[in-house]
Amino acid sequence: MNEMTPPKTERTAALKGLGTARKRVEDARFTQGKGNYVDDIKLPGMLFGDFVRSPYAHARIKSIDAEKAKALPGVIAVLTAADLAPLKLHWMPTLAGDVQMVLADGKVLFQGQEVAFVVAENRYIAADAVELVEVDYEELPVLVDPFKAEAPDAPVLREDLAGKSEGAHGPRRHHNHIFTWEQGDRDATEKVLASADVVAEEMVYYHRTHPCPLETCGCVASMDKVNGKLTVWGTFQAPHAVRTVASLISGIAEHNIRIISPDIGGGFGNKVGVYPGYICSIVASIVTGVPVKWVEDRMENLMATAFARDYWMKGRISATKDGRITGLWCHVTADHGAFDACADPTKFPAGFFNICTGSYDIPVAYLAVDGVYTNKAPGGVAYRCSFRVTEAAYFIERMIEVLAIKLGMDAAELRAKNFIRKDQFPYHSALGWEYDSGDYHTAWDKALKAVDYEGLRKEQAQRLEDFKAGKTRRLIGIGLTHFTEIVGAGPVKNCDILGLGMFDSCEIRIHPTGSAIARLGTISQGQGHATTFAQILASEIGIPADDITVEEGDTDTAPYGLGTYGSRSTPVAGAATAMAGRKIRAKAQMIAAYLLEVHDDDVEWDVDRFAVKGAPERFKTMKEIAFAAYNQAIPGIEPGLEAVSYYDPPNMTYPFGAYICVMEIDVDTGEHEVRQFYALDDCGTRINPMIIEGQVHGGATEGYAIAMGQEMAYDDMGNVKNATLMDFFLPTAWETPHYTTDFTVTPSPHHPIGAKGVGESPNVGSVPAFSNAVHDAFRSFGLTQTHMPHDHWRIWRTAHELGLHG
């Protein structure tokens, strides 16, 4: 019955499993415009919602008159806080333990805040009706500067918190103070700093920016009054969490709520939280009994949905004269805007910012983060990074540069001197993490060699001479970065969101003919899960990736999981996939042994089959086993071939990388040109090199945007200055640098397949690389620190202040 067995290599290749540069199965529909996004969903009788938003950053609402709007033909309803109050839905919990207004309750706290929700027969009527709602505001003093938040006479933003001296994360010392989060050993750190040979001190600001996914946020809520079921299609990065939260706040039983994330056009953290639009659409659908769609526009997305960063990081780093780092001290002033709506694991109000010791063996460290309220939009999400990890990486990679300047040392050498050595892993950092694995020196040496670091420094020195001789007006900057990320949240013992443990899941069904479907608790927003998770599974169970469907995003069918953000899908759901696959294989082994009439232990796994040990010509392929599982009565074994795994990771994973950027800077116009960008990533086991490369290109391009121009800027009145893509910098193909990618492989010791996650590394690593390049260009003129974004005028200003304009 068994024909000639093809060689192992051929059978392995046919699976398109781990390590294969398999083409993304998603792209056939995306490149043909056949994706199915929220705004593609059209249901019979569907109504449209649109918001009346505050033009002011801080104002009392004296009255709202919706009569004219309601009189407009086609307008069905206008909801205000007063309408939501009886349902207790005028406020909602945030993921960070705070509460947030759904619709303005008595006052507004940021420009663009949702004031009223208009429901109409179509979006055109809704937009017209928005203009007809008359809101009478009384302007209040505006608080924009986070350093003025805790002044004794600072305006009171959150009247709802009056008298509350205890917040979700401990004591509050002022009406605009949210929390203080401390890590590490303060006394020991201060002692080391006080007696150190050298201490470098700097304020490093990582400005407020925005994930700005191409598809904005939106949803379609449909309450079926006949069967009592609520279905919500939405741009949700965590559909199950949304279901649970929706159930808890609406009182609708969880089995009666179905959340579906269809295709999502990018999330980058922007689509993790719960927004007023979701609540209002749900309420409107319950009230009207028909589906209600709400999709925000670009300006609304930029102004009102979750921003990222906005961390003022004051650092002190100490070292011996010869450059051994002895201690690190950091204080962060975190501007959270009007409500604390970061999407961090509950016990981590500043996310994993305590990864800020980076890739370095720093014996003592101390960190304190103070969160404050201001009159800006809420958020603080992880924009393509694990929680606050980008801020941390930027901080330490700037501090290393600043220290190198102070020491008069080459910054590459300073890094190499202080890297955690390979033999120190698992490594316990001074701020409490256990780094799983790493080999920083190997990666670093490879990177420096690849770019000919010494040659670059020589060229830079020559250019400097030419500049001083008046032969050129362009300087060269070499931006170095060695970053260590912490991703894959996370172990349930310390990671939860609103009490939901941050495990993830995979459920596999093998069909009788030997193909399969795998369902996961995560949701792709462009990461290519349908491609890569099938590859993990192909290698585990010997069924070709092409024969495996991966499905995510429907809470009625997918197993419970916490969704996709923080590079957690591969570390957590990817692990669950491998583990569920192993359960399948364990049962398959018993079936194979039965069919081959040998003992279970007498068969061994061979790529896509079980063969009798010592008699490889006697085997059963996975396809044969699958069929047998459904058509043979096997004593002691249930029919069918299915498995589910809920994976609680024992630790986070710690991807790392070495990025080098070479930039030319025109000191007169402030323009720049990225001449070279080298990105070496070590994400452990590489599932699909092509997808990794795509992720690196995308993430580095976002990093480029952030470092070189992207920001959410406010004026003194709290007006958003750049809420359109005219001013908010999104690079086009024209601006995007060329990237050279490279890798080393240091598997995670605790992950079933050794994978660490890569989606966010390039954002984390590239921002400091671009920024360091700008700083480095001016290093010999005495620049130690200037703030991002390094757009034309700011680079010009730096050159100007350094006297380079004569």
Partner 1 sequence: MIPAPFDYHRPDTVEAAVKLIADLGDSARVIAGGHSLIPLMKMRMTDIAHLVDLQKIGALKGIAIDGGTVTIGAMTTQHELIGSAALGSAAPIIREAALQIADPQVRYVGTIGGNVANGDPGNDMPGVMQCLDATYHLRGPDGERTVKARDFYEAAYFTARADDEILTAVSFEVPVGGQAYVKQKRKTGDYATAAAAVIIAKSGGNCSAASIAMTNLSDTPVWCEAAGDALVGSSLGAADIDNAVDAMQAVINPQDDNKGPAAFKRHAAAVILRRAIERATSRA
Q: Which residues bind partner 1 (CB under 8 A)?
A: 123-124, 127-128, 131, 297-299, 668-671, 709, 713, 721-722, 726-727, 729, 731-732, 734-735, 791-794, 796-797, 800, 805
- The candidate with the shortest Cα–Cα distance to 501, out of 647, 392, 390, 358, is 647
What's the Rg (C-alpha) of the chain? 28
Least distance (Å) between residue 185 CB and partner 1? 44
**Which token pair is 668?**
């007169």
C-alpha distances in Å from residue 158, one per residue of 141, 162, 491: 13, 7, 34
Cα 140 versus chain centre, distance: 35
Cα 153 versus chain centre, distance: 36
d(CA 641, CA 455): 59
Q: Indicate left, alpha or beta for 83 from its phi (over 0: left) and psi (-120 to 50: alpha).
A: alpha
CB-nearer residue toward partner 1: 708 or 755:
708
Cα 275 versus chain centre, distance: 17
Least distance (Å) between residue 73 CB and partner 1? 12
Least distance (Å) between residue 710 CB and partner 1? 10
Give catalytic status of residue 280 as yes or no.
no
Least distance (Å) between residue 124 CB and partner 1? 6
- The candidate with the shortest Cα–Cα distance to 107, out of 80, 137, 66, is 137
C-alpha distances in Å from residue 29, one per residue of 23, 32, 173, 414: 13, 5, 53, 48
Give catalytic status of residue 597 as yes or no.
no
- The candidate with the shortest Cα–Cα distance to 158, out of 372, 470, 412, 469, is 372
CB-nearer residue toward partner 1: 60 or 800:
800
Helix (H, G, I), strand (E, B) or coil at 64: strand
**What angle, 0 to 180 degrees and rounded to 10, lies between the N-to-C axes of helices 276-288 and 239-250?**
60
Least distance (Å) between residue 55 CB and partner 1? 12
Active-site residue (options: 208, 760, 779, 785): 760
CB-nearer residue toward partner 1: 294 or 453:
294
Q: How many CB atoms lie within 10 A of CB 170?
A: 13
CB-nearer residue toward partner 1: 458 or 721:
721
**What is residue 558's DSSP assignment?**
S
Question: E-assigned strands of 553-704?
Answer: 603-605, 609-612, 615-621, 642-647, 656-666, 672-682
DSSP line for 394-423: HHHHHHHHHHHHHHT--HHHHHHHHBPPGG
Active-site residue (options: 172, 384, 388, 398): 384
Which helix (H) or strand (E) element contains residue 595? helix 575-596
Least distance (Å) between residue 302 CB and partner 1? 12
Residue type, 9: T
In the chain, DSSP finds a helix count (H) and a strand count (E) of 19, 35
CB-nearer residue toward partner 1: 630 or 793:
793
Least distance (Å) between residue 64 CB and partner 1? 19
Least distance (Å) between residue 477 CB and partner 1? 19
What end-to-end distance do the CA atoms of the chain give, in Å?
87
> φ, ψ for residue 419 (rounded to 5)?
-60, 145
CB-nearer residue toward partner 1: 449 or 805:
805
Question: How buried is 457 (Cβ within 10 angstroms: 0-12 exposed, 13-18 middle, 19+ buried)?
Answer: middle
Least distance (Å) between residue 219 CB and partner 1? 18
**Which token pair is 12?**
């392995």
**Which token pair is 47?**
């109504």
d(CA 460, CA 448): 15
Least distance (Å) between residue 51 CB and partner 1? 13
Residue type, 26: E
CB-nearer residue toward partner 1: 470 or 635:
470
CB-nearer residue toward partner 1: 101 or 799:
799
CB-nearer residue toward partner 1: 461 or 725:
725
Active-site residue (options: 385, 495, 661, 683): 385
d(CA 613, CA 615): 5
- The candidate with the shortest Cα–Cα distance to 676, out of 748, 767, 740, 608, is 740
d(CA 133, CA 78): 9
CB-nearer residue toward partner 1: 157 or 777:
777
DSSP line for 728-782: S----TTTPPP-EEEE-----SSSTT-B---TTHHHHHHHHHHHHHHHHHTGGGT
Least distance (Å) between residue 722 CB and partner 1? 6
Least distance (Å) between residue 27 CB and partner 1? 23
d(CA 73, CA 802): 63
Least distance (Å) between residue 134 CB and partner 1? 16
Active-site residue (options: 100, 113, 183, 237): 237
**What is residue 602's DSSP assignment?**
G
Residue indicated by tokens 């947030």: 100
CB-nearer residue toward partner 1: 524 or 701:
701
CB-nearer residue toward partner 1: 642 or 735:
735
CB-nearer residue toward partner 1: 494 or 736:
736
Give CB contacts under 8 A, 24+ apart, made by 586-591.
587/629, 587/637, 587/641, 587/643, 588/541, 588/622, 588/625, 588/626, 588/629, 588/641, 590/634, 590/637, 591/620, 591/625, 591/628, 591/629, 591/632, 591/634, 591/637, 591/641
Q: Which are the catalytic amino acids?
A: 237, 384-385, 760
